[in-house]
Homo-oligomer: A and B are copies of this chain.
Amino acid sequence: MKRAKGRKNNQLRATKIQTGVNRYAEGSALISMGNTKVLCMASVDEFVPRWMKDTGKGWVTAEYGMLPRSTHDRMDREAKKGRQSGRTQEISRLIGRALRASIDMEKLGERQIVVDCDVLQADGGTRCASITGGYVALHLAIQKLLKKKVITKNPMEVAVCAVSCGMFGKDALLDLNYDEDSTADVDMNFVITSDNKFVEVQGTAEHRAFSFSDLEKMKDLAVKGSKELFNLQKKALK
């Protein structure tokens, strides 16, 4: 497997995180990983979903979407089709679970933060980029709440990021682009915390079932990549 632009197997794509990209959202970030670009905006609501009322706890949720021509061939607009695909809902739920792992909901108090992740351009790894960039938007929204003294204790406990890996024969590769993603034998996504633990591990056999040692190889790459991503998040948040 030769990677585009001479990228090494354990190398992330060129990644940038730009903050303050929307003047209304309490927190916003535009993340690009190679040709994948996701706009992440965190919105604070001073209420929680009905089923959480009067628990004293907050909530973080996420919504994922793709612009119709974010992809190589234009896709139909989900709003026009009248429903979100199973894939869209699955990814929205994943991002939400990932981001919730970074927050102490009691310190957040009874308010909700919705993180919208809209893909402007897709070249593989959009769910991972959404989590990595969504964390930055969420962090900025929390900082704003602290600054305005809406909350007094910092509910951010840990940073989270996500990265994909894949197996090609015996080789494990980090951060797959679309071409790699669609030909990999195995495809795994790791959501990792800055204290080096896992929030989500999702591995799928695309062309062959995989062994546990495959899984370990990919895990090692993912941990390596996550360290670089945490550094990029920190830099963006300065």
Contact = CB atoms under 8 A, between A and B. Distances in A.
A198 to B, nearest CB: 5
Copies in the complex: 6
A70 B43 CA distance: 11
Contacts of A67: 39, 41, 65, 116, 118
A166 to B, nearest CB: 14
B200 A204 contact: yes
A197 interface: yes
Given A77-B65, A202-B201, A83 B83 contact: yes
A24 interface: yes
A202 B90 CA distance: 13
A202 B191 CA distance: 11
Interface residues of A, number: 62
Nearest to A25: B69
Contact of A197 (B89, B116, B210): B210
A92 interface: yes
A6 to B, nearest CB: 20
Shortest 10 CB-CB distances between A and B: which pairs?
A86-B89, A197-B209, A78-B79, A43-B74, A41-B69, A201-B203, A79-B79, A90-B90, A199-B205, A25-B69
Interface of A: 22-25, 28, 35, 39, 41, 43, 45, 63, 65, 67-74, 77-80, 82-90, 92-93, 97, 101, 114, 116, 118, 120-121, 158, 188, 193, 195, 197-205, 208-212, 215, 219
Given A83-B83, A86-B90, A89-B89, 19 more contacts: A41-B68, A43-B69, A63-B68, A63-B77, A65-B77, A68-B114, A77-B79, A79-B84, A80-B84, A82-B83, A84-B86, A197-B205, A198-B203, A198-B205, A198-B211, A198-B212, A199-B209, A200-B202, A200-B205
